[in-house]
């Protein structure tokens, strides 16, 4: 494969959700693996709903996932290119003016449905004479413009779905430009894909019909048809579709909820694929697991509970060097020994703060048997302490008091950590240190 050029093309009308992340990642990882380029294209032709804030949010959400585009373009700055394409299509008779109002179209649609006919645009505007058009214009009507589809079957070899086809005879001629001169999505997307040399268009399967239409437009404009791949869509655990406008499972929400970007990326890419869902440590490794041809063709359920589990597993396996910057920003960098002691108990990175407090801050011990703790305190070895100190100490406490098992360990854990669960005390003990341990065994906050 020559180096691919791919694009991710969200409209900045909301924050990205996990389904958008799937599209972005499938494109990005394809480019990454093959040494290609990734373009972020902001589809902001809808000037009313698009905002700078959402555009910034998209860039931020992608960066959080580890996706930094090679180039970013905005459709609102590329109108001249679309205007040129429109002129060419008009000149070749493939774009024609229509004057129907939305109400007229709706009435016609209802009539067709009532007669059991498919609600396809009847091309009435094509039959208008020059005088009729002039009269409509004189009445103040402005045309919207439809692309004249060839009524034929369009075929392509889909990267995900294999041989695909759509019969364009059953489709309405799509409106490319509105009365007010603004563009709908269809044409700008094609013009940009051609202009930017996009080689692979990977997007959700809700775009399959668009692809047939867009292939006809590309061919009309004399462009090279890129490879198309339509991936399955993600739904919520209960099977609903995701909506950007509703903020469903937004990346921002997942990030604010303390989840790791690689946990989110792993699930977004691997769910509904031939690979087992598992936490993958890096985008490069994830890139090696993407196989568009083996994605499931059914919608895939994105389960938030599964995400938590993945997040935990990712942290449990995370090496100290990877965790270090995060530990520093949480004010909890206790070095490799601390990280190795506590990582197995984390579900979210922020949980580390609690264990840092146990080790380096102040906690109030839970004292159930002060006498037992006093006897244990008397047996505390002198420092230096290491990983074997706990065993030496508790063996001595056991011999002295006769306590064993839970009766031996639980009062010590509660006194030393204020909690009844947590990391191995053998690892925590030297990190807490003798002074704090002694104080906590006396029931003092330390
Ligand atoms: N803006 C379109 C969308 O978000 C882009 C689709 C495409 O990738 O062509 O659905």
* Cα(335)–Cα(31) distance, integer angstroms: 36
| 21-37 pLDDT tens trace | 999 999 999 999 999 99
Give the other-Cβ count within 10 Å of 22's Cβ: 28
Protein residue with least CA distance to atom 3, ligand 1: 10
Q: Which CATH class is domain 1-92+153-166+184-317?
A: alpha beta
This prediction has a pTM of 0.93
CATH 3.90.800.10 is right for the domain spanning 93-152+167-177: yes
Q: Ligand 1: which of 184, 185, 206, 214 to mutate, judged by most atoms within 8 Å of the beta carbon?
A: 185
* Protein residues whose CB sits closer than 6 Å to any atom of ligand 1: 9-11, 43, 185, 189, 203, 207
Q: 338 exposed, middle or buried (CB, 10 Å; 0-12, 13-18, 19+)? A: buried
Domain 362-441 has CATH 3.30.565.10: no
Using pLDDT thresholds of 50, 70 and 90, give the confidence band for residue 200.
very high
- Residue 423 alpha carbon to ligand 1 centre in Å: 47
In the chain, % of residues over pLDDT 70: 99
Give φ, ψ of 233 to 5 degrees: -95, 155
State the burial class of residue 93 (Cβ atoms within 10 Å of its Cβ: 0-12, 13-18, 19+).
exposed
pLDDT at 242 over 90: no
Q: Quick one: CA torsion of 366, 370, 375, 380, rounded to 10 degrees?
A: 30
Indicate whether 247 pLDDT > 80.
no
Average pLDDT for 56-71: 98
Question: What integer best gives the mean pLDDT of the chain?
Answer: 96
Domain residue ranges of the chain, discontinuous segments joined by +: 1-92+153-166+184-317, 93-152+167-177, 362-441
Spatial neighbors of 49 by CB under 8 A, at least 6 apart, are 11, 13
pLDDT on residue 276 = 96
Crossing angle of helices 208-221 and 186-195, rounded to 10°: 60
Distance 192 CA to ligand 1 centre (A): 12
How many angstroms is it from 94 CA to the middle of ligand 1?
A: 23
d(CA 55, CA 61): 10
pLDDT confidence band for 56 (50 / 70 / 90): very high
Asked if 278 contacts 310 with a C-beta cutoff of 8 angstroms, the reply is yes
* Nearest atom (ligand 1) to Cα of 214: 9
- Percent residues over pLDDT 90 in the chain: 95
Q: Which of 38, 62, 203 to mutate to test the pocket of ligand 1 (most atoms within 8 A of CB)?
A: 203
pLDDT tens digits for range 70-109: 999 999 999 999 999 999 999 999 999 999 999 999 999 9
Please check the confidence at residue 246 and state whether its pLDDT lies above 80. no
Beta-strand ranges (E) seen in 241-373 are 300-302
- Can you read off the two tokens belonging to residue 227? 């490879």
Ligand 1 atom at minimal distance to the Cα of residue 203: 8
């Amino acid at each position: 494969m020559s180096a691919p050029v791919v694009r991710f093309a969200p409209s900045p009308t909301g924050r990205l959700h996990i389904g958008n992340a799937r599209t972005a990642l499938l494109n990005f990882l394809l480019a990454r693996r093959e040494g290609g380029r990734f373009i972020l294209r902001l589809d902001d032709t809808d000037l009313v709903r698009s905002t700078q804030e959402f555009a910034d949010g998209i860039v931020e959400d992608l960066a959080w996932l580890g996706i930094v585009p090679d180039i970013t373009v905005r459709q609102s700055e590329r109108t001249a290119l679309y205007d040129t394409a429109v002129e060419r299509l008009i000149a070749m008779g493939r774009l024609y003016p229509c004057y129907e109002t939305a109400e007229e179209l709706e009435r016609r649609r209802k009539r067709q449905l009532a007669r059991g006919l498919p609600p396809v645009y009847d091309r009435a505007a094509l039959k208008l004479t020059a005088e009729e058009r002039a009269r409509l214009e004189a009445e103040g009507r402005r045309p919207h413009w439809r692309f004249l589809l060839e009524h034929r079957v369009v075929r392509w070899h889909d990267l995900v779905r294999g041989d695909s086809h759509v019969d364009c005879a059953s489709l309405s001629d799509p409106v490319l430009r509105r009365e007010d001169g603004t563009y709908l999505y269809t044409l700008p997307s094609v013009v940009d894909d051609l202009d930017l040399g996009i080689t692979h268009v990977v997007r959700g399967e809700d775009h399959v019909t668009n692809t047939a239409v867009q292939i006809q437009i590309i061919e009309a404009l004399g462009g090279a048809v890129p490879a198309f791949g339509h991936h399955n869509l993600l739904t919520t655990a209960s099977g609903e579709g995701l909506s950007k406008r509703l903020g469903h499972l937004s990346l921002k929400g997942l990030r604010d909820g303390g989840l790791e970007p690689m946990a989110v990326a792993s699930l977004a890419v691997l769910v509904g694929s031939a690979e087992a869902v598992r936490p993958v440590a890096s985008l490069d490794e994830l890139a090696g697991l993407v196989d568009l041809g083996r994605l499931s063709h059914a919608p895939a359920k994105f389960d938030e509970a599964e995400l938590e589990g993945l997040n935990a597993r990712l942290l449990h396996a995370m090496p100290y060097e990877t965790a270090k910057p995060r530990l520093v920003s949480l004010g909890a960098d206790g070095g490799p020994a601390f990280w190795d002691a506590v990582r197995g108990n984390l579900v979210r990175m922020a949980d580390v703060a609690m264990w840092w407090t146990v080790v380096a801050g102040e906690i109030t011990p839970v004292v159930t048997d002060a006498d037992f703790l006093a006897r244990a305190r008397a047996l505390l070895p002198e420092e230096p302490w290491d990983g074997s100190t706990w065993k030496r100490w508790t063996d001595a406490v056991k011999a002295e008091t006769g306590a064993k098992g839970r009766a031996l360990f639980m009062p010590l854990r509660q006194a030393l950590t204020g909690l009844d669960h947590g990391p191995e005390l053998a690892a925590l003990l030297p990190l807490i240190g003798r002074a704090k341990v002694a104080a906590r065994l006396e029931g003092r906050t330390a």
